Amino acid sequence: MGEDKAMKRVRTPTRLSVALLSAGFLLFLGWPWLTARGGIHCQAMSMALFHGCLALAWNICSMMGAVSLGHTAFFGLGAYGSALLCHYGHLNPFLTIPLGGILGAFYGVLWHIAFGKLRGAPFALASLASVEIPKVIIDNWESFTFGSLGVVGIPPLSPIRVGSFMLDFGENPVHLYHLFLVGTLFLCLLYRQALRSRWGWAVRTIREDETAAASLGVNVRRTRLQVFICSAFLTGICGGVYAHLMGLVEPALVFSLHISALPLVLSIFGGRFQWYGPLLGAVVLYPLDQVVFRSLFPVGHSALYGFVVILTLMLFPQGMGAWLQKRLHLASS
Amino acid sequence: MAAEATPPCLELKGISFGFHGRPLLEDITLTVGHQEIVSFIGPNGVGKTTLFNIICGLAAPLKGSVIYRGVDITGREPHTICRMGIARTFQIPRPFPQMTVLENVLVGIWFGAEEAGKPDGERQEALRLLDLVGLRHKAEERGRELTLSELRRLEVARALATKPRLLLLDEVAAGLSPQAIREAVELIKSLRDGGLTLLIIDHFLTLTCQVSDRLVALCERKMTAVGKPAEVLNSPEVMRAYLGRGDA
Ligand SMILES: Nc1ncnc2c1ncn2[C@@H]1O[C@H](COP(=O)(O)OP(=O)(O)OP(=O)(O)O)[C@@H](O)[C@H]1O
Ligand SMILES: [Mg+2]
DSSP A60-100: HHHHTT---S-THHHHHHHHHHHHHHHHHH---HHHHHHHH
What are φ and ψ of residue A63, in 5° steps?
-60, -30
Find the residue in B nearest to A201 (Cα).
B107
Q: Which residues contact A145 (CB under 8 A, 6 or more apart)?
A: A80, A84, A138, A139, A151
In single-letter form, the type of residue at position A250 comes to E
When CB atoms are compared, the residue of A198, A215, A273 closest to B110 is A198
In this structure, what are the phi and psi dihedrals at residue A248, rounded to the nearest 5 degrees? -150, 155
Q: How far, in Å, is the centroid of ligand 1 from the Cα of A262?
A: 43
Main-chain phi, psi angles of B102, to 5 degrees: -60, -45
Cβ–Cβ of A214/B79 closer than 8 Å?
A: yes
CA angle in degrees (0–180, nearest 5) for B190-B194-B199:
75
Distance from CA of B99 to the nearest CA of A (A): 9
CB atoms within 10 A of CB A230: 20
Report helix, strand or coil for B244: helix
Going by alpha carbons, the residue nearest to atom 3 of ligand 1 is B19
How far apart (Å, rounded) are the C-alpha atoms in residues A14 and A135? 48
Can you tell me the mean pLDDT for A300-326? 83
DSSP B110-166: IIISSS---HHHHHHHHHHHHHHTT-GGGTTSBGGGS-HHHHHHHHHHHHHHT--SE
Question: Domain locations in chain A?
Answer: 40-256
Q: How far is A108 from chain B (nearest CA, A)?
A: 23
CB contact under 8 A, A202 and B161: no
Q: Which residues of B touch A202 (CB under 8 A)?
A: 111
Q: Does A298 touch chain B (CB under 8 A)?
A: no
pLDDT at residue A8 greater than cutoff 70: no
Q: Which atom of ligand 1 is nearest to the CA of B218?
A: 21
B14 sits in which H/E element: strand B10-19
Q: List the residue whose alpha carbon is closest to atom 11 of ligand 1.
A: B45
- Using pLDDT thresholds of 50, 70 and 90, give the confidence band for residue B246: very low
Judge whether A182 and A46 are in contact, CB under 8 Å: no
Shortest-distance ligand to the CA of residue B169: 2
| Residues B30, B13: Cα–Cα separation, whole Å | 7
Q: What is the mean pLDDT of chain A?
A: 90
- Best CA proximity match to A285, nearest among A14, A55, A29, A17: A55
How would residue A186 be classed by pLDDT, with cut points 50, 70 and 90?
A: very high
Q: Is B45 near ligand 1, meaning CB less than 6 Å away?
A: yes
C-alpha to C-alpha distance for B191 and A297, rounded to whole angstroms? 69
Burial class (CB in 10 A: 0-12, 13-18, 19+), A133: middle
**Each residue's pLDDT tens digit, A130-167:** 999 999 999 999 999 999 999 999 999 999 888 888 88
The ligand minimizing its distance to the Cα of B203 is: 1
Confidence class for position A10, pLDDT limits 50, 70, 90: very low
Q: Which of residues 33-92 of B touch A (CB under 8 A)?
A: 56-58, 77-79, 82-83, 87-88, 90
CB pairs < 8 Å spanning A and B? 90
Q: What is the pLDDT of residue B243?
A: 63
Rounded CA gap, B216 and B68, in Å? 19
A11 touches chain B (CB under 8 A): no
Distance between CA A119 and CA A66 in Å, rounded?
Answer: 7
- pLDDT exceeds 70 at position A71: yes
Q: Do B79 and A219 touch (CB under 8 A)?
A: yes
| Distance of alpha carbon B79 from alpha carbon A219, whole angstroms | 6
Instruction: Judge whether B109 and B103 are in contact, CB under 8 Å.
Output: no
Tell me the mean pLDDT in the region B151-162: 96
Pairwise CB contact (< 8 Å): A201 & B110:
yes
Chain-chain contact of B111 with A215 (C-beta, under 8 angstroms) = no
User: What's the CA-to-centroid distance between B20 and ligand 1, angstroms?
Assistant: 12
In the prediction, which pLDDT does A200 show?
96
Q: Which residues contact A101 (CB under 8 A, 6 or more apart)?
A: A78, A81, A233, A234, A236, A237, A240
Provide, as residue numbers in chain B, all residues whose Cβ is less than 8 Å from the Cβ of A7.
Answer: 123
In tens, the pLDDT along A58-70 reads 999 999 999 999 9
Return the pLDDT at A6: 43
> pLDDT at position A14, please?
72
Q: What is the pLDDT of residue B233?
A: 85
Chain CA centroid to CA A163, Å: 32
DSSP per-residue string spanning A206-224:
HHH-HHHHHHTT--HHHHH
Helix (H) / strand (E) containing B81:
helix B78-84
- Tell me what the mean pLDDT of segment B203-226 comes to: 87
CB contact under 8 A, B58 and A215: yes
How many Cα neighbours within 13 Å face the side chain of B11? 12
B134 touches chain A (CB under 8 A): no
Residues of chain B contacting A198 with CB distance shorter than 8 Å: 110-111
Q: What is the pLDDT of residue A36?
A: 73
